[in-house]
Amino acid sequence: MAVDIDGLTRLFHTKNPPAFGRSSLRPEVVALDAVSLQVDQGEIHGLLGPNGAGKTTLVKILATILLPTSGTARVMGHDVVSDTAAVRPLIGIVLGGERGLYNRLTARQNLRYWAALYKLEPKAGWARVDELLRRVGLEGRADERVQSYSRGMRQRLHLARGLVNDPPVLFLDEPSTGMDPVAARELRVIVTELAAEGRTVFLTTHDMAEAEALCNRVTLIDHGRLLATETPRQLSTMLSRFERIECEGAADGVIKAVGALRGVSTVTSKGVSTRIEVDTEGVVAEVMRHLVSSGVTSVRVTRPSLEEVYLSLIGERGMDV
């Protein structure tokens, strides 16, 4: 097993004590609540959840940057708290974003620095840096200052940085944030290649489509708690179960007729917009055929948001238009 998490909990104390009353009851944010998870070697595992769900906290603990409050986590068999020296050479971290790079230096200079910190021999390290720059497509601009880079380029540089020490385990925190679709697509290709090389990739995202496209398994997390671990296929099933059709300009008669179709669960109208929810697979096509043949031209199929999938998992109904 590449990653073995058992009962991992992380509490954060809020900065300021309460204005009134004694602060014996320290206000706490539960970022992670007894999380248990296993990731196999060579697996691409996705951690899916909305912002604030605890994804980044989990990644930071696994990356030995943050200490857990309780519970254990092992990476490649080594405890992340007591055996950090063994863990660190084995992992690559891509936290991404605008920060994390020396802006006034070039990409090459940045990477060479990390190569040194990861204790690579100068010659081998520099060769590796060149190779990585090629791999992420930055070799053409490797000797320009990072401050001139676009968000997508920075993200690619972050990825290169995460690969500097050739790690068997890679942690990617929201890697395609801020990337245009083309760049995001390229990223997915690279991630797939990395897994094909035998690496374990643990990535966090709030993009369901991405999780579905890339991962062998996806774990759903919300408010620090794991909800479920599914394969993308199962996710797909869940999604299609909650697909909905939204249309505009449909006459009342048409709406009534659609509502009477089998498999249609709810029809909600607001002004000129109508939303039709289905609870059986395969009904979507029929509904759409009906709408289009009735002359409704503004039709689209939407997938539920992450929030709605969660809420349904916790057993509540979806939300209004």
Residues in contact with other proteins by the rule CB under 8 A: 10, 12-13, 57, 60, 63-67, 85, 88-89, 91, 93, 95, 97, 99-105, 109, 112-122, 125, 145, 161
Judged by beta carbon, residue 48 or residue 101, the one nearer other proteins is 101
How far is Cα 288 from Cα 297, in angstroms, rounded to an integer?
10
The least CB distance from residue 99 to other proteins, in Å, is: 3
The least CB distance from residue 246 to other proteins, in Å, is: 40
How far is Cα 242 from Cα 281, in angstroms, rounded to an integer?
9
How far is Cα 114 from Cα 263, in angstroms, rounded to an integer?
57
Question: Which three-class secondary structure state does DSSP give residue 26?
Answer: coil
Judged by beta carbon, residue 25 or residue 85, the one nearer other proteins is 85
Classify strands 200-205 and 225-230 as parallel, antiparallel or unpaired: unpaired
The least CB distance from residue 48 to other proteins, in Å, is: 22
The least CB distance from residue 141 to other proteins, in Å, is: 16
Return the DSSP state at 145.
Answer: B
Judged by beta carbon, residue 88 or residue 241, the one nearer other proteins is 88
The least CB distance from residue 155 to other proteins, in Å, is: 14
How far is Cα 302 from Cα 311, in angstroms, rounded to an integer?
17
The number of CA neighbours under 13 Å toward the Cβ of 207 is 16
The least CB distance from residue 12 to other proteins, in Å, is: 6
Number of Cβ within a 10 Å radius of residue 219: 23
Judged by beta carbon, residue 84 or residue 305, the one nearer other proteins is 84
Classify strands 217-222 and 169-173 as parallel, antiparallel or unpaired: unpaired
Judged by beta carbon, residue 97 or residue 318, the one nearer other proteins is 97
Judged by beta carbon, residue 54 or residue 152, the one nearer other proteins is 54
Q: Considering just the CA atoms, what is the radius of gyration of the chain in Å?
A: 24
